[in-house]
């Protein structure tokens, strides 16, 4: 398996969708950061 951490930023205003997407990405091996909107993503 690939040992390189792959970072991804999830920007989604709906908290439930954001959490579900983050769960899928973490399970796939991504290092996930989150933001609820574009201002938080900066």
* pLDDT for residue 24: 98
* Residue 1 placed within a domain: no
CA 29 to chain centre: 11
Of 10, 14, 16, nearest in space to 35 by CA:
10
Taking only the tens place, the pLDDT of each residue in 1-42 is 567 889 999 999 999 999 999 999 999 999 999 999 999 999
Q: Which domain holds residue 37?
A: 6-41
Number of domains within the chain: 1
Instruction: Report residue 28 as tokens.
Output: 């796939």
* pLDDT for residue 1: 54
pTM over 0.95: no
Query: d(Cα 34, Cα 1) in Å, to the nearest integer?
Result: 25
Q: Is residue 18 exposed (0-12), middle (13-18) or buried (19+ Cβ within 10 Å)? A: middle
């Amino acid at each position: 398996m690939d040992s390189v951490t792959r970072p991804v930023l999830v920007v989604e205003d709906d908290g439930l969708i954001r959490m579900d997407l983050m769960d899928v990405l973490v399970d796939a091996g991504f290092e996930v950061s989150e933001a609820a909107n574009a201002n938080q993503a900066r």
